[in-house]
Structure 1
C-alpha cells in the first residue's frame, strides 16, 4: 500500500489514539484524524473490526483494510514509517517496553471505570506507589543503557512516543513522574516534546481532558 490514505477514528480525546497520531506526526505522513463525540459512537461502532476504538482505515485504490486495537495499529504504522527499530533486536526491545507501558495504561482504565470509591483508591494507590515506580526504574535503566536519549541506540521509535503519551496524559502529575530519580526519562520526554514535528502538532492539537 505505497500510496495509501489513512483515516484514524477515535473519540475526542488523546488516550489510546494519541501514540498513533504521534507516529504519523513524527514520520511526517499525512492522515485524516477523525474525532467524534461519544454520543456518535453507535454510528462508527459497526465500521470497526472489533467494535472498539481507535481503528484505522487504510485505502489504496480499490483496496481497503481496517485495523483495530491501538497497539496493533501503532506497531503497523511504526513499521511502515521506520519507527520500530533498525533491527529485529531493537524492534523486540521496543515491543517489550511498550508492553510495560500498556500495563500502566490498562491500570489507568481500571481506575477510570471503577465505580466503587474504595476500590478506585486501591487501584490508584497501586498505580502510583507500585506500578509507576517499578516501570519507571526499568525505563530509566534502559534509556541509560541505550546512550541515545531514547529506548534504543538508533534513536526515536514508537515506544518513546508511547511513553511520552503516558506521561503527557497524566496532566498535573507530570512533574511527579519526572522526578530527580528519572533524569533519563525526563531527557527522553524533552527530546520528544521538542522534536520539531511533535512540537508543531502539540501546538495545534485540540485541548482535551485526557
Structure 2
C-alpha cells in the first residue's frame, strides 16, 4: 500500500473531507498539521502555492476535492459505475455550492449587509437547498447506491461545517436525509 501524507493547517478546513474519507476507508496516513510560521517555507514547494496537499509515495496532489476523489477511488467509495461516479461528483458540486454561498455570508465585512445575507441564507436558501437535496437521496438513505460513498461523506462534512456557523433547517422535515 502506498504511503500517504496529508498536509494542511492545524484545523479542519478544506482538508477535513480528505481526513473523513481516510477514516471511513480505514486507510492509514500521516496527518501533518502545519503551523502558520512554517507556511512561507512550504508554499513555494507546493504545486499551486496552497494546501491541502497529499503526497502519495512522493508524488504531490493538490485541491481538496481532487484529493478526496482520489482517496475515494482507492478506497472504493467513489461509485461503482461511471453513472454512480457522476452522481458522487454531482453531490460534491451541490454541497460546494452550499458552502460557497455560506462563505460569502461568513466573510461579509459590513455587519448590516452580513445580517441581511445571513437571514436570507438561513431562512430562504437553506430550506430550498435541503428540499432539493432531499430528492437526491435514494430509498437506501444513501445518495448513491446502497452503501457509503464520497457523496455521503461530503454531505456530512459540509452540513457539519455550515451548521457550526448557521442555523440549519430541521432535518426531520426531510425524510430522505434523516436515514
Task: Compute the TM-score of the two structures, normalised by the length of structure 2.
Answer: 0.88
- In structure 2, do the counterparts of structure 1 residues 65 and 131 end up closer, same or farther at CA, with 3 Å as the change threshold? farther
- In structure 2, do the counterparts of structure 1 residues 131 and 71 end up closer, same or farther at CA, with 3 Å as the change threshold? farther
Matched pairs, number: 178
- Structure 2, unpaired ranges of 5+: none
| Contact persistence 2:171–2:177 (CA under 8 A) | no
Q: 163-172 vs 90-99, which deviates more? A: 163-172
Pairing of 1:190-209 with structure 2 (within 5 A): none
- In structure 2, do the counterparts of structure 1 residues 47 and 77 end up closer, same or farther at CA, with 3 Å as the change threshold? same
Q: C-alpha displacement at 1:183, in angstroms?
A: 3.1
Pairing of 1:79-118 with structure 2 (within 5 A): 79-118=73-112
1:160 has 2:152 as partner = yes
Q: C-alpha displacement at 1:7, in angstroms?
A: 0.9
- In structure 2, do the counterparts of structure 1 residues 104 and 73 end up closer, same or farther at CA, with 3 Å as the change threshold? same
The alignment's C-alpha RMSD in Å is 2.0
Q: Deviations over 1:54-81 (max 9, x none)?
A: 111111xxxx221111111111111111
Moved over 6 A (4+): none
- In structure 2, do the counterparts of structure 1 residues 6 and 104 end up closer, same or farther at CA, with 3 Å as the change threshold? same
Partner of 1:50, secondary structure, is: coil
Partner of 1:142, secondary structure, is: coil
2:10 maps to 12
Distance 2:169 2:39 in 1: 33
Distance 2:19 2:125 in 1: 26
